[in-house]
């Protein structure tokens, strides 16, 4: 995945990205949020969990075309990045922790063109233990 190009990159990337995407989901929970080290890092880097969610969704909504928005670890700090198409932050040396799929196929059947509504709904089903385990 780090070195692949062309069709191999597109397919390997989408397998890795969708695997990480689906593994991070769990049962729907009200007031779902991370705990412990991960919450501390989020509050350190984004001021609050609510501010983090707002920035993450904004990055997902503003990604032009198809791709993925990512929360990653970079040198001990958390960063949010946009990756077009099959991109994954591992290609830039980052450690990916959380991702939202913003390809239209991820939300069109339920939300039509309302990407922001889809992204907002995902917070209720994130299994933060899985995300923290990626640290
Ligand atoms: Fe997808």
How far away, in angstroms, is 35 Cα from ligand 1 center? Answer: 27
pTM across the whole model: 0.96
How far away, in angstroms, is 40 Cα from ligand 1 center? Answer: 30
Report pLDDT for 62. 98
Asked if residues 107 and 114 have their Cβ atoms less than 8 Å apart, the reply is: yes
CA distance 60 to 14: 17
Closest C-alpha to 15, from 80, 72, 77, 90? 90
How far away, in angstroms, is 44 Cα from ligand 1 center? Answer: 30
Q: What digits encode the pLDDT tens for the residues 10-35? A: 999 999 999 999 999 999 999 999 99
How far away, in angstroms, is 120 Cα from ligand 1 center? Answer: 17
**Domain boundaries of the chain, sorted by first residue:** 6-133
Closest C-alpha to 97, from 29, 26, 41, 57? 41
How far away, in angstroms, is 131 Cα from ligand 1 center? Answer: 18
Fold for domain 6-133? minor pseudopilin epsh fold (3.55.40)
For residue 114, what pLDDT band results from cuts at 50, 70 and 90? very high
Closest C-alpha to 129, from 16, 18, 27, 19? 27
How far away, in angstroms, is 94 Cα from ligand 1 center? Answer: 21
């Amino acid at each position: 995945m780090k070195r692949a190009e062309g069709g191999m990159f597109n397919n390997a990337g989408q397998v890795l990205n969708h695997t990480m995407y689906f593994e991070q989901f769990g049962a729907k929970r009200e007031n779902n949020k991370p705990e412990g080290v991960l919450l501390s890092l989020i509050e350190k880097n984004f001021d609050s969990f609510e501010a983090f969610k707002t920035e993450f969704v904004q990055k997902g909504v503003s990604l032009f075309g198809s791709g993925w928005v990512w929360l990653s670890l970079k040198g001990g700090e958390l960063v949010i990045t946009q990756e077009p198409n099959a991109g994954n932050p591992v290609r830039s040396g980052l450690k990916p922790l959380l991702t939202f799929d913003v390809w239209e196929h991820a939300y069109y059947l339920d939300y039509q063109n309302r990407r922001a509504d889809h992204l907002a709904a995902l917070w209720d089903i994130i299994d933060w233990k899985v995300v923290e385990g990626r640290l």
